[in-house]
Amino acid sequence: MHRRTRIRLAQLLCLALALTAGVTVTGSARAAALLPYQDPSLPVATRVDDLLARMTLDEKLGQMTQAERGSVSTSDITTYRLGSILSGGGSSPSPNNATSWANMYDTFQQAALATPLGIPIIYGVDAVHGHNNVYGATIFPHNIGLGATRDQALVQQIGQAVATEVTGTGLDWDFAPCLCVARNDRWGRTYESFGEVPAIPNAMTAFVTGLQGSTLGGPTSVLATAKHYVGDGGTTGGVDQGNTQLSEAELRAIHLPPFQAAIARGVGSVMISYSSWNGVKLHGHQYLISTVLKGELAFTGFVVSDWNGIDQIDGQGGFTATEVRTAINAGIDMVMVPQAWKNFITLLRSEVQAGRVTMARIDDANRRILTKKFELALFERPLTDRAYTGTVGSAAHRALARQAVAKSQVMLKNSANLLPLARDNMRIFVAGKNADDIGNQSGGWTISWQGSSGNITPGTTILHGIRNAVGSTSTVTYNRRGTGINSSYDVAIAVVGETPYAEGQGDRSGSMALDREDLRAIATLRNSGVPVIVLLVSGRPMDIATALPGWDALIASWLPGTEGDGVADVLFGAVAPTGTLPVTWMASASQQPINDGDGKTPLFPLGFGLTY
Ligand code: BGC
Ligand code: BGC
């Protein structure tokens, strides 16, 4: 008999024995009835092979499908064997709190466990600066602020804290970190970038280790995502989802290194960018996905598409069979089809049946996805570990966020050593639209996709941070517009900048200056003759060069999140400023794009930052 046939027969015999055992053994003897894929003592590769051999085509198609929580029922999960669910930005259960997230997760997971093979779902979310969809979660500074810290160890700790909060709500997978190298500050996602040169995001891939742990499968291990592959931050004009026009050598030199660094850290998934490279959409780019990422860079995790990203391959709305085939054959393993997931399954099935997508490709995608599910120990621990639910928004995590806020402040001007301020016997006037607004200081991707102004989640505003910092002999007066200031005050603090936005809605093709409200508030403060400190709360550098001579001090506070005490720590000298610019600061918007080494004269160069 042929050797291979003999092995197959032997396997079949084992299978038959196992199945027989499975129906006859009950109770305490059940452990002995484990099928190989259910046996945690076997190597992951063995378990994957065993499971794959038991799966029908429909089960495999389900594993490759990711639907949005609002567009699936639990019975859909069971019937269609769905492999993954996501929460889009702001897609939360009601009421929005950690316990109901955990309950929701467990309900979805039970539906997956009710399938014949019981393959757990993997649930993904954008926890991009804390578990930011969850009311009451700790909101950390956005990546641009973390980049300003240059502190790898801190960023790794933040990753761990985020993973703990995500674990407490049951979820398995974080669509973070964004490793974009933002080359044009007009781009609405500039704040999602750790910095404009690859060295900064490279270092900040420590976040991957924080999320996942040194290996997957720890009690709070969450799968990380390196996104968006590749060149998302390099589009012409800084247009979101635009076209990155670069030579291959430039693409490799600027935009690829953070992905290599993340792969070296074992990142479990990579998300494809909406953008194009020299006119070709990344979602259909076989060379960059299969040849470079999976081949040359030896990425062994799985590749996920972005939200309706495959729809854009042909430039028309919606997706076609051709787009499904193109995306899968390019090397995408799991497709984020928030609503139209049934149609996706139907089209992919017919492409496979017609032989235009090979079974080998389907098996490869499944192998990659299942490997991560096994490594995460989802088969052994599919449900929420409620021991961590109480960590969402915990004092310890908020203390860590406060530390990150303080370290992310970049002091850009400090005339006459105005900073640090004394805590005692001070009359302080605070103004500006971002002084007392948790929503504004948190930015996009907070509670909702776009974020919003107002009291959207518990935290400490910058104003309250200032109030907390001063002694009882000082007074802090606040008026948003600056009304009421007079020369009796010792100092005025204007907290100004941007209001929340996400993705393309934050693209700024025109002016990048402060708005009229901010300029008026600052002018009112200045007219009093009191020294003025400007705190710029923004997702990127702003065009301030002409106004700066009239300001006595300037701090770039970025988008600090919920812990405004960290800003006050730097104002009052509890923490000396050490943050340095992760991006070049334009002298005027007309310089965009402006980057380190391009010969343009900035207002402040990359790496600039004062201390006192
Ligand atoms: C964004 C991704 C995000 C996904 C899921 C997309 O619009 O580009 O960064 O992970 O939505 O919310
Ligand atoms: C979702 C986001 C997603 C975006 C893409 C929104 O409706 O909430 O998660 O990134 O759509 O356009």
pLDDT in tens, 291-346: 999 999 999 999 999 999 999 999 999 999 999 999 999 999 999 999 999 999 99
Task: Evaluate if residue 371 carries a pLDDT over 60.
Answer: yes
Rounded distance between C-alpha atoms, residue 93 and residue 598, angstroms? 47
> What does the pLDDT average to over 196-221?
98
Answer yes or no: is the C-beta of 307 below 6 A from any ligand 2 atom. yes
Task: Evaluate if residue 4 carries a pLDDT over 80.
Answer: no
Answer yes or no: is the C-beta of 126 below 6 A from any ligand 1 atom. yes
Verify whether residue 306 is a known catalytic residue: yes
> What does the pLDDT average to over 429-446?
99
Rounded distance between C-alpha atoms, residue 28 and residue 10, angstroms? 27
Task: Evaluate if residue 536 carries a pLDDT over 90.
Answer: yes
Average pLDDT across the chain, whole number: 95
Rounded distance between C-alpha atoms, residue 230 and residue 460, angstroms? 36
Catalytic-labelled residue, pool 196, 351, 375, 503: 503
pLDDT in tens, 9-26: 334 333 443 443 444 434
Split at pLDDT 50, 70, 90, the class of 492 is very high
> What does the pLDDT average to over 263-287?
98
- Structure tokens given for 75: 């019975």
Coil, strand or helix at 193: coil
Higher confidence at residue 29 or residue 368? 368
> What does the pLDDT average to over 261-285?
98
Tell me which residue of 62, 132, 66 sits closest to 101, measured CA to CA.
Answer: 132
pLDDT for position 32 = 56
- Structure tokens given for 225: 């995502």
From first CA to last CA, the distance across the chain in angstroms is: 82
Verify whether residue 503 is a known catalytic residue: yes
Domain boundaries, the chain: 1-34, 42-390, 399-591
Residue nearest to atom 11 of ligand 1 (CA): 307
pLDDT for position 432 = 99
> What does the pLDDT average to over 424-431?
98
The minimum-distance atom of ligand 1 relative to the CA of 227 is 9
pLDDT in tens, 394-408: 999 999 999 999 999
Coil, strand or helix at 122: strand
pLDDT for position 31 = 52
> What does the pLDDT average to over 47-52?
98
Radius of gyration of the chain (CA): 26
pLDDT for position 525 = 99
> What does the pLDDT average to over 89-111?
98
Q: Taking a C-beta distance cutoff of 8 angstroms, is the pair 496, 526 a contact?
A: no
Cα dist from 95 to 44, 387, 492, whole Å:
38, 20, 40
Coil, strand or helix at 176: coil
Answer yes or no: is the C-beta of 449 below 6 A from any ligand 2 atom. yes
Q: Is 427 exposed, middle or buried (0-12, 13-18, 19+ CB in 10 A)?
A: middle
Question: What is the percent of the chain where pLDDT is above 90?
Answer: 95
Answer yes or no: is the C-beta of 124 below 6 A from any ligand 2 atom. no
**CA 503 / ligand 1 centre spacing (Å):** 9
Lowest mean pLDDT among 8-22, 90-104, 498-512, 593-607: 8-22
Answer yes or no: is the C-beta of 229 below 6 A from any ligand 2 atom. no
Please indicate whether the domains covering 42-390 and 399-591 agree at the CATH topology level: no
User: Which CATH number fits the domain 42-390, given the four candidates 3.50.50.60, 3.20.20.300, 3.30.70.330, 3.10.450.350?
Assistant: 3.20.20.300
Residue nearest to atom 12 of ligand 2 (CA): 307
The minimum-distance atom of ligand 1 relative to the CA of 89 is 12
Split at pLDDT 50, 70, 90, the class of 265 is very high
CATH level 3 topology of 399-591: Rossmann fold (3.40.50)
If one counts every other C-beta atom within 10 angstroms of the C-beta of residue 295, the result is: 12
- pTM comes to 0.95
- Structure tokens given for 4: 């291979």
pLDDT for position 124 = 99
pLDDT for position 14 = 39
At 547, phi and psi to the nearest 5?
-85, -25
